[in-house]
Amino acid sequence: MPSGFGSIEGAKSTAVFSSFHETCKVHGVNLEDYLEFLFRYMGIHRDELKDESLSDERRNAILEQAMPWKFKKA
């Protein structure tokens, strides 16, 4: 099924992004700055997060540090 605003998948994607954007706003985080940080951060931790032997605790700790409420602009 094609993605886009004319599909269920497009609607789901829009809802997820809107929720994400609102979370940033609630925490006073600039969305553009945060997304730049997030893409870099996830790139740094990509291989570790793909490791199937990674403990849930470690995976959650990595992801927790990437949340908007943890973001601080340097």
pLDDT tens by residue, 1-53: 455 567 888 889 899 999 989 999 999 999 999 999 999 999 999 999 999 99
Sign of the Cα pseudo-torsion (34, 39, 44, 50, in order): positive
CA-to-CA dists, residue 32 to 25, 50, 69, angstroms:
11, 26, 15
Give the global pTM: 0.74
Q: What is the pLDDT at residue 4?
A: 55
In this predicted structure, the answer to whether residue 63 has a pLDDT above a threshold of 60 is yes
